[in-house]
């Protein structure tokens, strides 16, 4: 089940723009890492930032309402027959403080936490994070939606992230963009994790968080993957099967086809991650289409066939 952005902001699905902004403002100030010492607040701060970024954008919100998180992040299907059957999915940049900065405005959205000389102010919210003690932020996990073709052939994905980078003074910071490159290997499975160490926000007494991308498979219009095998469902009569690498396979069937019949084609599945030169198998299931009505003549022919 995907994330519930409305629940994250404590609002209903028919909330108006003003209510979304009011909810984010209240929760962002409550759970900001400089104001809360609760360990869970760091993750909550990121969740509400992502929720606000989606729900405050009419296009993203419309896609999310209709297709859910999977459609929003994995891309939504376009018209049948298009050369690019899936629209580009949404990827949250992972920088909750960027959302905070853009919402509250100003060159330094954290100015309220410091005095005129730039020294930390001891707030009545449990104080600031331990001074002089470096602590690594929790990992930032993001889904990476890939098509079966991406996972079959392998590919290169470039993802732009925005993060806070310390300035030369070692105290103030600036938001900068960075491109992360992911070399997808043939045969990667759903759940594969790609870790970029310490690519999160920088700051005083902070060890930047690791950014982890987790592979998710997009739905495919023809194939379903099970481990390293591919499942193909074909309606009788059988013609040719077009593989992921655009080859046409002629599948000879010499057996009697029944509702549970399955044809195994060795070596036509997904590449094995351990050795991409080897592949899993292709399993073809058949949809037998039974007629809803029979003429008296066809009924008689069927009786004769069953009695012989």
Check residue 33 and give its pLDDT: 78
Give yes or no: residues 160 and 273 share one domain.
Answer: no
The total domain count for the chain is 2
C-alpha 298/C-alpha 293 separation (Å) is 10
Give yes or no: residues 15 and 106 share one domain.
Answer: yes
Residues 125, 127, 133, 139: what is their CA dihedral angle, to the nearest 10 degrees?
A: 20
pLDDT digits (tens, 9 = 90+) for 22-54: 999 889 888 887 776 677 788 899 999 999 999
Share of the chain above pLDDT 90, in %: 25
Give yes or no: residues 17 and 42 share one domain.
Answer: yes
Give yes or no: residues 228 and 194 share one domain.
Answer: no
Q: Of 217, 237, 268, at which residue does a domain stop?
A: 217
Give yes or no: residues 97 and 235 share one domain.
Answer: no
Check residue 306 and give its pLDDT: 60
CA distances from residue 196 to 159, 168, 199, 210 in whole angstroms, order as listed: 12, 23, 6, 6
Task: Give the model's confidence band at 258: pLDDT under 50 very low, under 70 low, under 90 confident, else very high.
Answer: low
Does residue 107 have a pLDDT over 80? no
Check residue 168 and give its pLDDT: 80
Check residue 69 and give its pLDDT: 84
pLDDT digits (tens, 9 = 90+) for 2-11: 689 999 999 9
240 located within any domain: yes
Q: Tell me: cis bond preceding 232? Omega within 30 of 0 counts.
A: no
Check residue 89 and give its pLDDT: 74
Q: Of 200, 217, 234, at which residue does a domain stop?
A: 217
- As a whole number, the mean pLDDT across the chain is 78
The answer to whether 48 and 31 have CB atoms below 8 angstroms apart is yes
121 located within any domain: yes
CATH of the domain at 256: 2.60.260.20
Does residue 85 have a pLDDT over 60? no
Task: Give the model's confidence band at 211: pLDDT under 50 very low, under 70 low, under 90 confident, else very high.
Answer: very high
pTM of this structure = 0.50
Task: Give the model's confidence band at 116: pLDDT under 50 very low, under 70 low, under 90 confident, else very high.
Answer: very low
Check residue 302 and give its pLDDT: 66
Does residue 227 have a pLDDT over 80? yes
Give yes or no: residues 45 and 113 share one domain.
Answer: yes
169 located within any domain: yes
Cα dihedral across residues 232, 235, 238, 239: positive or negative: negative
Q: Which range marks the domain in which residue 140 is found?
A: 5-217
58 located within any domain: yes
pLDDT digits (tens, 9 = 90+) for 120-169: 444 343 333 434 456 787 888 899 999 999 999 999 999 988 888 888 87
Give yes or no: residues 120 and 83 share one domain.
Answer: yes
Give yes or no: residues 131 and 273 share one domain.
Answer: no
Bridge partners (DSSP) listed for residue 286: 234
Q: Of 160, 184, 217, at which residue does a domain stop?
A: 217
Does residue 194 have a pLDDT over 50? yes
Does residue 80 have a pLDDT over 80? no
State mean pLDDT over 209-214.
92
């Amino acid at each position: 089940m995907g994330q519930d952005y409305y629940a994250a902001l404590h609002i209903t699905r028919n909330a108006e723009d003003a209510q979304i902004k009011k909810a984010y403002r209240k929760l962002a100030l409550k759970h900001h890492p400089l104001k809360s010492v609760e360990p869970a607040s760091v993750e909550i701060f990121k969740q509400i930032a992502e929720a606000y970024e989606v729900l405050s954008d009419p296009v993203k919100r419309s896609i999310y309402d209709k297709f859910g998180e999977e459609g929003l992040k994995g891309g939504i299907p376009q018209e049948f027959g298009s050369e690019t059957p899936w629209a580009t999915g949404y990827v949250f940049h992972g920088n909750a403080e960027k959302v905070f900065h853009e919402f509250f405005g100003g060159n330094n959205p954290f100015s309220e936490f410091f005095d005129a000389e730039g020294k930390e102010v001891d707030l009545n919210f449990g104080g600031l994070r331990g001074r002089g003690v470096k602590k690594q932020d929790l990992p930032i996990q993001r889904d990476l939606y890939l098509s079966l073709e991406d996972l079959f052939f392998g590919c290169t994905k470039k993802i732009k992230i925005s993060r806070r980078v310390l300035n030369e003074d070692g105290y103030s910071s600036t938001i900068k963009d960075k491109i992360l490159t992911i070399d997808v290997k043939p045969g990667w499975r759903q759940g594969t994790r790609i870790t970029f160490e310490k690519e999160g926000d920088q700051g005083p007494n902070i060890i930047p968080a690791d950014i982890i991308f987790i592979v998710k498979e997009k739905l495919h219009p023809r194939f379903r993957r099970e481990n390293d095998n591919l499942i193909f469902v074909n309606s009788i009569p059988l013609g040719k099967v077009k593989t992921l690498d655009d080859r046409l396979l002629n599948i000879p069937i010499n057996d009697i086809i029944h509702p549970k019949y399955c044809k195994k084609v060795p070596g036509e599945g997904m590449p094995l991650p351990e050795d991409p030169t080897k592949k899993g198998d292709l399993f073809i299931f058949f949809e037998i289409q039974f007629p809803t009505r029979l003429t008296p003549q066809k009924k008689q022919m069927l009786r004769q066939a069953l009695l012989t």
